[in-house]
Protein backbone atom coordinates (compact mmCIF):
# COMPACT_ATOMS: atom_id res chain seq x y z
CA UNK A 1 0.00 0.00 0.00
CA UNK A 2 1.40 3.42 -1.00
CA UNK A 3 1.97 6.19 1.50
CA UNK A 4 -0.83 8.44 0.28
CA UNK A 5 -3.29 5.57 0.48
CA UNK A 6 -2.33 4.95 4.11
CA UNK A 7 -2.65 8.68 4.83
CA UNK A 8 -6.15 8.67 3.32
CA UNK A 9 -7.20 5.67 5.43
CA UNK A 10 -5.91 7.30 8.64
CA UNK A 11 -7.73 10.52 7.71
CA UNK A 12 -11.06 8.73 7.17
CA UNK A 13 -10.65 6.96 10.52
CA UNK A 14 -9.91 10.33 12.20
CA UNK A 15 -13.04 11.90 10.68
CA UNK A 16 -15.16 9.03 12.02
CA UNK A 17 -13.56 9.12 15.47
CA UNK A 18 -13.33 12.88 16.14
CA UNK A 19 -16.35 14.17 14.18
CA UNK A 20 -16.86 17.92 14.69
CA UNK A 21 -13.87 18.02 17.01
CA UNK A 22 -11.50 17.49 14.05
CA UNK A 23 -10.09 20.69 12.49
CA UNK A 24 -7.67 19.26 9.93
CA UNK A 25 -5.27 16.49 8.98
CA UNK A 26 -1.91 17.57 7.55
CA UNK A 27 0.80 15.75 5.65
CA UNK A 28 4.19 17.35 6.35
CA UNK A 29 7.95 16.91 6.63
CA UNK A 30 9.76 14.22 4.68
CA UNK A 31 6.42 12.91 3.42
CA UNK A 32 6.46 15.84 0.98
CA UNK A 33 10.03 15.22 -0.14
CA UNK A 34 10.68 14.10 -3.69
CA UNK A 35 13.05 11.52 -2.21
CA UNK A 36 10.80 10.34 0.60
CA UNK A 37 11.36 6.76 1.65
CA UNK A 38 8.53 4.23 1.18
CA UNK A 39 8.51 3.59 4.94
CA UNK A 40 8.24 7.21 6.05
CA UNK A 41 5.00 9.09 6.69
CA UNK A 42 4.51 12.28 8.76
CA UNK A 43 0.94 13.23 9.73
CA UNK A 44 -0.47 15.88 12.10
CA UNK A 45 -4.03 15.61 13.38
CA UNK A 46 -5.30 19.05 14.47
CA UNK A 47 -8.22 19.26 16.91
CA UNK A 48 -10.43 22.23 17.73
CA UNK A 49 -10.17 21.47 21.44
CA UNK A 50 -7.81 19.59 23.71
CA UNK A 51 -7.41 15.85 23.21
CA UNK A 52 -8.44 13.14 25.67
CA UNK A 53 -6.57 9.95 26.67
CA UNK A 54 -9.04 8.03 24.50
CA UNK A 55 -8.00 10.16 21.50
CA UNK A 56 -4.37 9.20 22.02
CA UNK A 57 -5.30 5.54 22.29
CA UNK A 58 -7.18 5.81 19.01
CA UNK A 59 -4.13 7.24 17.24
CA UNK A 60 -1.88 4.59 18.72
CA UNK A 61 -4.24 1.91 17.42
CA UNK A 62 -4.35 3.46 13.92
CA UNK A 63 -0.59 3.68 13.76
CA UNK A 64 -0.23 0.00 14.70
CA UNK A 65 -2.23 -1.11 11.65
CA UNK A 66 0.52 -0.34 9.15
CA UNK A 67 3.96 -1.82 8.72
CA UNK A 68 5.73 1.43 7.89
CA UNK A 69 7.33 4.19 9.94
CA UNK A 70 4.57 6.68 10.80
CA UNK A 71 5.17 9.84 12.79
CA UNK A 72 1.60 10.55 13.90
CA UNK A 73 1.20 13.74 15.93
CA UNK A 74 -1.83 15.32 17.55
CA UNK A 75 -2.11 19.01 18.45
CA UNK A 76 -4.98 21.38 19.16
CA UNK A 77 -5.85 24.89 18.11
CA UNK A 78 -5.62 26.39 21.65
CA UNK A 79 -1.93 25.35 21.80
CA UNK A 80 -0.93 27.08 18.57
CA UNK A 81 0.60 30.47 19.33
CA UNK A 82 3.34 32.17 17.33
CA UNK A 83 5.40 33.13 20.36
CA UNK A 84 5.39 29.78 22.15
CA UNK A 85 4.55 26.91 19.82
CA UNK A 86 7.22 24.20 19.60
CA UNK A 87 6.16 21.13 17.62
CA UNK A 88 7.94 18.02 18.87
CA UNK A 89 11.45 19.26 19.82
CA UNK A 90 11.35 22.10 17.31
CA UNK A 91 10.85 25.75 18.13
CA UNK A 92 8.89 28.55 16.46
CA UNK A 93 10.75 28.17 13.17
CA UNK A 94 8.82 24.95 12.48
CA UNK A 95 5.68 27.05 11.86
CA UNK A 96 7.30 28.27 8.63
CA UNK A 97 7.73 24.66 7.53
CA UNK A 98 4.17 23.82 8.55
CA UNK A 99 2.91 26.64 6.31
CA UNK A 100 3.78 24.20 3.52
CA UNK A 101 2.01 21.19 5.02
CA UNK A 102 -0.47 19.55 2.70
CA UNK A 103 -4.02 19.48 4.17
CA UNK A 104 -5.66 16.12 3.50
CA UNK A 105 -8.71 17.32 5.41
CA UNK A 106 -9.73 20.81 6.49
CA UNK A 107 -7.53 23.92 6.34
CA UNK A 108 -3.95 24.47 7.43
CA UNK A 109 -4.22 26.48 10.69
CA UNK A 110 -0.56 27.47 10.66
CA UNK A 111 -1.09 29.84 7.73
CA UNK A 112 -2.43 32.40 10.21
CA UNK A 113 0.71 32.45 12.39
CA UNK A 114 4.00 34.25 11.76
CA UNK A 115 6.62 34.10 14.54
CA UNK A 116 9.12 36.93 14.91
CA UNK A 117 12.26 36.50 12.87
CA UNK A 118 14.49 36.70 15.95
CA UNK A 119 12.46 33.93 17.61
CA UNK A 120 12.85 31.72 14.55
CA UNK A 121 16.61 32.25 14.49
CA UNK A 122 16.92 31.40 18.19
CA UNK A 123 14.89 28.23 17.76
CA UNK A 124 16.99 27.11 14.77
CA UNK A 125 20.16 27.55 16.84
CA UNK A 126 18.62 25.60 19.71
CA UNK A 127 17.58 22.77 17.39
CA UNK A 128 21.04 22.57 15.81
CA UNK A 129 22.50 22.50 19.31
CA UNK A 130 20.18 19.64 20.24
CA UNK A 131 21.34 17.59 17.22
CA UNK A 132 25.01 18.33 17.84
CA UNK A 133 24.89 17.72 21.61
CA UNK A 134 23.19 14.37 21.02
CA UNK A 135 25.93 13.39 18.56
CA UNK A 136 28.56 14.62 21.01
CA UNK A 137 27.08 12.44 23.72
CA UNK A 138 27.34 9.40 21.44
CA UNK A 139 30.94 10.32 20.70
CA UNK A 140 31.85 10.79 24.36
CA UNK A 141 30.25 7.51 25.41
CA UNK A 142 31.68 5.58 22.48
CA UNK A 143 28.17 4.55 21.39
CA UNK A 144 28.61 4.77 17.64
CA UNK A 145 26.00 3.86 15.01
CA UNK A 146 26.94 0.69 13.24
CA UNK A 147 24.14 -0.26 10.86
CA UNK A 148 22.40 1.22 7.85
CA UNK A 149 19.32 2.26 9.84
CA UNK A 150 21.48 4.33 12.18
CA UNK A 151 23.26 5.95 9.26
CA UNK A 152 19.91 6.88 7.68
CA UNK A 153 18.78 8.48 10.96
CA UNK A 154 21.86 10.72 11.18
CA UNK A 155 21.73 11.50 7.48
CA UNK A 156 18.20 12.83 7.94
CA UNK A 157 19.17 14.95 10.96
CA UNK A 158 22.13 16.49 9.15
CA UNK A 159 19.91 17.49 6.23
CA UNK A 160 17.44 18.98 8.73
CA UNK A 161 20.23 21.12 10.20
CA UNK A 162 20.95 22.46 6.72
CA UNK A 163 17.31 23.05 5.76
CA UNK A 164 16.59 24.78 9.10
CA UNK A 165 19.54 27.10 8.54
CA UNK A 166 18.42 27.76 4.97
CA UNK A 167 14.97 28.79 6.19
CA UNK A 168 16.21 31.70 8.31
CA UNK A 169 19.03 32.62 5.92
CA UNK A 170 16.95 32.76 2.74
CA UNK A 171 13.35 32.56 3.91
CA UNK A 172 12.86 29.49 1.74
CA UNK A 173 11.48 26.13 2.78
CA UNK A 174 13.46 23.49 0.94
CA UNK A 175 13.78 19.74 1.45
CA UNK A 176 17.24 19.81 -0.19
CA UNK A 177 16.58 16.76 -2.34
CA UNK A 178 19.00 17.52 -5.14
CA UNK A 179 22.83 17.62 -5.20
CA UNK A 180 22.90 21.16 -6.62
CA UNK A 181 20.71 22.46 -3.79
CA UNK A 182 22.80 20.79 -1.12
CA UNK A 183 26.06 22.00 -2.66
CA UNK A 184 24.73 25.55 -2.71
CA UNK A 185 23.50 25.58 0.91
CA UNK A 186 26.60 23.88 2.32
CA UNK A 187 28.84 26.31 0.43
CA UNK A 188 27.01 29.31 1.90
CA UNK A 189 26.90 27.88 5.41
CA UNK A 190 30.52 26.74 5.62
CA UNK A 191 31.91 29.32 3.16
CA UNK A 192 33.57 26.59 1.12
CA UNK A 193 32.56 23.73 -1.15
CA UNK A 194 31.56 20.36 0.38
CA UNK A 195 34.34 17.80 0.51
CA UNK A 196 34.32 14.75 -1.73
CA UNK A 197 31.56 12.31 -0.83
CA UNK A 198 29.72 14.66 1.57
CA UNK A 199 26.71 15.39 -0.66
CA UNK A 200 26.55 11.82 -1.97
CA UNK A 201 26.36 10.47 1.59
CA UNK A 202 23.60 12.92 2.56
CA UNK A 203 21.41 11.94 -0.40
CA UNK A 204 22.15 8.24 -0.94
CA UNK A 205 20.93 5.73 1.64
CA UNK A 206 22.93 2.98 -0.02
CA UNK A 207 26.22 4.63 0.96
CA UNK A 208 27.81 3.68 4.25
CA UNK A 209 29.83 6.20 6.21
CA UNK A 210 32.02 5.85 9.26
CA UNK A 211 30.95 7.51 12.50
CA UNK A 212 33.99 9.77 12.59
CA UNK A 213 32.93 11.41 9.34
CA UNK A 214 29.31 11.71 10.48
CA UNK A 215 30.31 13.37 13.75
CA UNK A 216 32.60 15.77 11.89
CA UNK A 217 29.59 16.90 9.80
CA UNK A 218 27.51 17.55 12.92
CA UNK A 219 30.38 19.58 14.33
CA UNK A 220 31.06 21.51 11.12
CA UNK A 221 27.42 22.44 10.52
CA UNK A 222 26.75 23.39 14.15
CA UNK A 223 29.75 25.70 14.48
CA UNK A 224 28.99 27.29 11.10
CA UNK A 225 25.34 27.88 12.11
CA UNK A 226 26.48 29.61 15.30
CA UNK A 227 28.96 31.72 13.36
CA UNK A 228 26.39 32.99 10.85
CA UNK A 229 23.17 33.13 12.86
CA UNK A 230 24.69 34.60 16.01
CA UNK A 231 26.99 37.37 14.73
CA UNK A 232 28.93 39.40 17.26
CA UNK A 233 27.41 42.85 16.76
CA UNK A 234 28.32 46.08 18.50
CA UNK A 235 25.88 48.99 18.69
CA UNK A 236 27.24 52.55 18.63
CA UNK A 237 25.07 55.63 19.20
CA UNK A 238 25.90 58.98 17.64
CA UNK A 239 24.32 62.11 16.15
CA UNK A 240 24.56 63.40 12.60
CA UNK A 241 23.64 66.99 13.34
CA UNK A 242 20.32 66.62 15.18
CA UNK A 243 19.70 63.11 13.83
CA UNK A 244 19.96 60.25 16.32
CA UNK A 245 21.65 57.24 14.71
CA UNK A 246 22.42 53.68 15.80
CA UNK A 247 25.23 51.80 14.07
CA UNK A 248 25.01 48.03 14.44
CA UNK A 249 28.44 46.80 13.42
CA UNK A 250 29.68 43.28 12.66
CA UNK A 251 32.84 44.43 10.86
CA UNK A 252 31.53 44.35 7.29
CA UNK A 253 32.65 46.53 4.39
CA UNK A 254 29.08 46.89 3.17
CA UNK A 255 26.34 48.89 4.88
CA UNK A 256 22.55 48.92 4.80
CA UNK A 257 20.76 52.05 6.03
CA UNK A 258 17.22 51.61 7.31
CA UNK A 259 14.72 54.42 6.71
CA UNK A 260 11.66 53.64 8.84
CA UNK A 261 8.02 54.49 8.20
CA UNK A 262 5.78 57.01 9.92
CA UNK A 263 4.92 56.78 12.72
CA UNK A 264 7.52 54.36 13.98
CA UNK A 265 8.91 53.14 17.27
CA UNK A 266 12.16 52.64 15.31
CA UNK A 267 12.40 49.09 16.65
CA UNK A 268 13.75 47.29 13.58
CA UNK A 269 15.53 44.49 15.47
CA UNK A 270 14.15 41.72 13.29
CA UNK A 271 15.34 43.31 10.04
CA UNK A 272 18.66 44.30 11.61
CA UNK A 273 19.33 40.70 12.69
CA UNK A 274 18.49 39.41 9.22
CA UNK A 275 20.80 41.94 7.58
CA UNK A 276 23.61 40.95 9.95
CA UNK A 277 23.12 37.33 8.93
CA UNK A 278 23.41 38.41 5.30
CA UNK A 279 26.69 40.15 6.06
CA UNK A 280 25.72 43.82 6.44
CA UNK A 281 26.56 46.44 8.99
CA UNK A 282 23.34 48.38 9.65
CA UNK A 283 22.50 51.99 10.50
CA UNK A 284 19.03 53.11 11.51
CA UNK A 285 18.09 56.66 12.48
CA UNK A 286 15.28 58.79 13.92
CA UNK A 287 13.95 61.62 11.77
CA UNK A 288 14.67 65.14 13.02
CA UNK A 289 12.38 66.25 15.87
CA UNK A 290 11.07 62.70 16.36
CA UNK A 291 12.03 59.89 18.72
CA UNK A 292 15.49 60.41 20.22
CA UNK A 293 16.62 62.97 17.65
CA UNK A 294 17.07 66.61 18.56
CA UNK A 295 15.32 69.62 17.12
CA UNK A 296 11.81 71.03 17.09
CA UNK A 297 11.41 71.97 13.41
CA UNK A 298 10.11 69.66 10.69
CA UNK A 299 12.74 68.54 8.19
CA UNK A 300 12.16 66.77 4.90
CA UNK A 301 12.71 63.03 5.41
CA UNK A 302 14.88 62.81 2.28
CA UNK A 303 17.17 65.49 3.70
CA UNK A 304 17.60 63.50 6.93
CA UNK A 305 18.42 60.41 4.89
CA UNK A 306 20.81 62.42 2.72
CA UNK A 307 22.71 63.63 5.79
CA UNK A 308 23.01 60.09 7.18
CA UNK A 309 24.06 58.72 3.79
CA UNK A 310 26.72 61.37 3.33
CA UNK A 311 28.19 60.62 6.76
CA UNK A 312 28.22 56.86 6.12
CA UNK A 313 29.81 57.11 2.67
CA UNK A 314 33.00 58.24 4.37
CA UNK A 315 33.30 54.89 6.17
CA UNK A 316 32.01 52.28 3.69
CA UNK A 317 32.76 51.26 0.15
CA UNK A 318 29.21 50.11 -0.53
CA UNK A 319 26.06 51.69 0.94
CA UNK A 320 22.50 50.55 0.24
CA UNK A 321 19.12 51.64 1.63
CA UNK A 322 16.09 49.64 2.68
CA UNK A 323 13.06 51.75 3.49
CA UNK A 324 9.32 51.47 3.92
CA UNK A 325 6.31 53.74 3.50
CA UNK A 326 7.32 57.29 4.57
CA UNK A 327 10.97 56.22 4.50
CA UNK A 328 10.41 54.78 1.03
CA UNK A 329 9.45 58.24 -0.21
CA UNK A 330 12.69 59.62 1.24
CA UNK A 331 14.78 56.91 -0.39
CA UNK A 332 13.18 57.25 -3.82
CA UNK A 333 13.51 61.04 -3.65
CA UNK A 334 17.29 60.62 -3.37
CA UNK A 335 17.59 58.39 -6.39
CA UNK A 336 18.54 61.39 -8.53
CA UNK A 337 21.56 62.17 -6.32
CA UNK A 338 24.02 60.39 -8.59
CA UNK A 339 26.98 61.64 -6.59
CA UNK A 340 25.85 59.53 -3.64
CA UNK A 341 26.49 56.33 -5.62
CA UNK A 342 23.95 54.33 -3.67
CA UNK A 343 24.48 50.65 -4.41
CA UNK A 344 20.85 49.66 -4.07
CA UNK A 345 17.51 51.01 -2.91
CA UNK A 346 14.89 48.53 -1.67
CA UNK A 347 11.60 50.36 -1.10
CA UNK A 348 8.90 48.49 0.84
CA UNK A 349 5.31 49.78 0.39
CA UNK A 350 6.73 53.24 -0.46
CA UNK A 351 4.80 56.47 -0.86
CA UNK A 352 5.37 57.87 -4.35
CA UNK A 353 2.66 60.55 -4.20
CA UNK A 354 1.32 61.71 -0.82
CA UNK A 355 -1.78 63.16 -2.49
CA UNK A 356 -2.88 59.63 -3.41
CA UNK A 357 -2.33 58.04 0.00
CA UNK A 358 -5.66 57.05 1.55
CA UNK A 359 -6.82 59.43 4.33
CA UNK A 360 -3.48 61.26 4.28
CA UNK A 361 -5.12 64.52 5.39
CA UNK A 362 -6.01 62.95 8.74
CA UNK A 363 -2.45 61.75 9.48
CA UNK A 364 -1.29 64.83 11.45
CA UNK A 365 -4.36 64.62 13.70
CA UNK A 366 -3.92 60.85 14.06
CA UNK A 367 -0.30 61.30 15.11
CA UNK A 368 -1.08 64.02 17.63
CA UNK A 369 -3.84 61.92 19.24
CA UNK A 370 -2.32 58.44 19.07
CA UNK A 371 1.44 59.04 18.97
CA UNK A 372 1.91 62.31 20.87
CA UNK A 373 5.51 61.56 21.82
CA UNK A 374 6.67 60.58 18.36
CA UNK A 375 7.30 64.09 17.05
CA UNK A 376 8.00 67.58 18.39
CA UNK A 377 7.53 69.72 15.27
CA UNK A 378 4.41 71.78 14.64
CA UNK A 379 1.52 69.72 13.33
CA UNK A 380 0.82 72.35 10.66
CA UNK A 381 4.38 72.05 9.33
CA UNK A 382 3.83 68.37 8.75
CA UNK A 383 0.39 68.95 7.25
CA UNK A 384 1.88 71.45 4.78
CA UNK A 385 4.51 68.91 3.73
CA UNK A 386 1.90 66.21 3.13
CA UNK A 387 -0.25 68.57 1.07
CA UNK A 388 2.58 69.99 -1.02
CA UNK A 389 5.16 67.20 -1.25
CA UNK A 390 5.94 66.67 -4.92
CA UNK A 391 5.32 63.33 -6.57
CA UNK A 392 8.58 61.41 -6.95
CA UNK A 393 9.88 62.12 -10.46
CA UNK A 394 12.70 59.65 -10.85
CA UNK A 395 14.75 59.46 -14.00
CA UNK A 396 17.55 57.32 -12.57
CA UNK A 397 16.03 54.07 -11.32
CA UNK A 398 19.21 52.01 -11.52
CA UNK A 399 19.43 49.34 -8.79
CA UNK A 400 16.03 50.28 -7.38
CA UNK A 401 13.48 47.63 -6.41
CA UNK A 402 10.00 48.15 -4.98
CA UNK A 403 8.21 45.49 -2.92
CA UNK A 404 4.51 46.19 -2.48
CA UNK A 405 1.37 44.46 -1.23
CA UNK A 406 -1.39 43.86 -3.75
CA UNK A 407 -3.98 44.46 -1.03
CA UNK A 408 -2.44 47.64 0.41
CA UNK A 409 -5.36 49.95 1.27
CA UNK A 410 -3.14 52.94 2.10
CA UNK A 411 -1.00 53.02 -1.04
CA UNK A 412 -2.81 51.42 -3.94
CA UNK A 413 -0.94 48.86 -6.02
CA UNK A 414 -2.23 50.51 -9.22
CA UNK A 415 -0.35 53.72 -8.38
CA UNK A 416 2.83 51.76 -7.69
CA UNK A 417 2.49 49.73 -10.90
CA UNK A 418 2.09 52.92 -12.94
CA UNK A 419 5.07 54.53 -11.23
CA UNK A 420 7.29 51.51 -11.84
CA UNK A 421 6.16 51.27 -15.46
CA UNK A 422 6.84 54.95 -16.11
CA UNK A 423 10.37 54.79 -14.71
CA UNK A 424 11.30 51.18 -15.55
CA UNK A 425 11.67 50.17 -11.91
CA UNK A 426 11.48 46.52 -10.92
CA UNK A 427 8.36 45.70 -8.89
CA UNK A 428 7.86 42.63 -6.72
CA UNK A 429 4.14 42.45 -5.82
CA UNK A 430 3.14 40.31 -2.83
CA UNK A 431 -0.19 38.93 -1.66
CA UNK A 432 -0.19 41.23 1.34
CA UNK A 433 -1.47 44.50 2.73
CA UNK A 434 0.73 47.43 3.83
CA UNK A 435 4.17 46.10 4.81
CA UNK A 436 6.52 47.10 7.60
CA UNK A 437 10.14 45.96 7.60
CA UNK A 438 9.65 43.59 10.53
CA UNK A 439 6.50 42.16 8.98
CA UNK A 440 8.45 41.43 5.81
CA UNK A 441 10.95 39.34 7.79
CA UNK A 442 8.09 37.33 9.29
CA UNK A 443 5.92 36.71 6.25
CA UNK A 444 7.85 37.28 3.01
CA UNK A 445 11.53 36.97 3.83
CA UNK A 446 12.21 34.88 0.72
CA UNK A 447 11.54 37.87 -1.53
CA UNK A 448 14.72 39.51 -0.21
CA UNK A 449 16.92 36.48 -0.91
CA UNK A 450 17.47 37.30 -4.57
CA UNK A 451 17.87 41.03 -3.92
CA UNK A 452 20.57 41.29 -1.25
CATH for 234-449, options being 3.40.50.1820, 3.10.110.10, 3.40.50.300, 3.40.50.720: 3.40.50.1820
* Longest CA pairwise span in the chain (Å): 76
Query: Model confidence over 60-102: pLDDT tens digits?
Result: 999 899 888 888 889 998 888 767 777 766 778 888 888 889 9
Q: Which of 212, 101, 93, 199 is nearest to 155 (CA)?
A: 199
Query: Model confidence over 32-56: pLDDT tens digits?
Result: 654 445 457 889 999 999 999 999 9
CA 342 to chain centre: 25
Predicted confidence (pLDDT) at residue 396 exceeds the cutoff of 60:
no
Per CATH, is 3-112 categorized as 3.30.460.10?
yes
pTM for this prediction: 0.88
Q: Which of 320, 317, 311 is nearest to 253 (CA)?
A: 317
Provide mean pLDDT across the span 306-324. 92
Element (H, E) at 385: helix 379-388
Whether the CB-CB separation of 24 and 109 falls below 8 Å is answered with: yes
First-to-last C-alpha distance (Å) of the chain: 46
| Contacts for 109 with CB less than 8 Å, ≥ 6 apart | 23, 24, 46, 77, 80
Whether the CB-CB separation of 75 and 22 falls below 8 Å is answered with: no
Question: Residue ranges per domain, the chain?
Answer: 3-112, 117-229, 234-449
* pLDDT at res. 35: 47
Provide the Cα torsion 114, 118, 119, 124; round to 10°: 110
Distance CA 177, CA 386 (A): 52
Provide the Cα torsion 123, 403, 395, 414; round to 10°: -170
- Angle in degrees, CA 404, 408, 410, rounded to 5: 115
Predicted confidence (pLDDT) at residue 367 exceeds the cutoff of 90:
no
| Contacts for 245 with CB less than 8 Å, ≥ 6 apart | 237, 238, 239, 283, 284, 285, 286, 308, 311
* pLDDT at res. 440: 94
Q: Which of 250, 303, 302 is nearest to 272 (CA)?
A: 250
Amino acid sequence: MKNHEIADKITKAAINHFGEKLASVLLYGSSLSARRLPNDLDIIVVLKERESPEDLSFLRFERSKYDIEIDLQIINIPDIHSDSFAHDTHGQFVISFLHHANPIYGKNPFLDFFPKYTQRVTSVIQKAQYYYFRAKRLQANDVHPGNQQDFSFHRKKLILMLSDFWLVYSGKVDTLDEPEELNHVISILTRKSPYSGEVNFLLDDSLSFNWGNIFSLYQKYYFAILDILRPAAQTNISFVGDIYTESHVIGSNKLMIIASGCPSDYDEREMIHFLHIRGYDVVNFHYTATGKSKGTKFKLPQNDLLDVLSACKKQYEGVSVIANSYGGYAALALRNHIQLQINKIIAISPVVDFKKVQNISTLPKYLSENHPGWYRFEKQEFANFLQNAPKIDNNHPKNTIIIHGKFDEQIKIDDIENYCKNFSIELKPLKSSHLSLNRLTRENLDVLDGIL
